[in-house]
Amino acid sequence: NLLKNAFETHVLYSRTEPVNIVCDGGPENKGDLDQWTTSLKHPSTIKLTAQTETFPFSNNMSESIHHIFKNVFLRDYIPNNKASLILKLKEFEFFYGHKLYPLELFGFTTQQVLNGAIPDKHRFALQIENSQKMRAKENHATVYCKECFPQAE
């Protein structure tokens, strides 16, 4: 069990102050986890469900970043030790802030928005419209189009 290993590795069983476990309300965080946390006598353990009034964050943000790190940034690269993983995390931090263009930022990087750029969903509307017209004009000018679409002449 991952939490048992974490408690042993970081000597959390002997802590005097409470240990907070933050998780979402998913089914994997019920049942065995609840039984295990209730069975702990020392330290007292508080299971916090993410994105509540007291804890306004959601784990889907961290899951999303983990997915991007693993499947987009690392792809087939597997770090062979802790040092190479730390190096890749530092590279990812730069990639995520300066090279990645999240859809919700409409063509800006995270760093550009943090520096004051305002995302605008209509930012590329005119460019997209003009490109569509140009592609249609180019398509209609080809021999292929005249053979398949004689009405285009």
Residue of higher predicted confidence among 25 and 87: 87
Distance in angstroms (rounded) separating the CA atoms of residues 148 and 4:
67
Tokens of 99: 């090279």
For residue 113, pLDDT beyond 70: yes
Whether pTM > 0.85 for this model: the answer is no
Mean pLDDT of all residues in the chain? 82
Reported as a pLDDT band with limits 50, 70 and 90, residue 31 is: confident
- Secondary structure class of 47 (helix, strand, coil): strand
Non-local CB neighbours of 59 within 8 Å, separated by 6+ positions: 22, 23, 24, 50, 51
Q: How far apart are the first and last CA of the chain?
A: 70
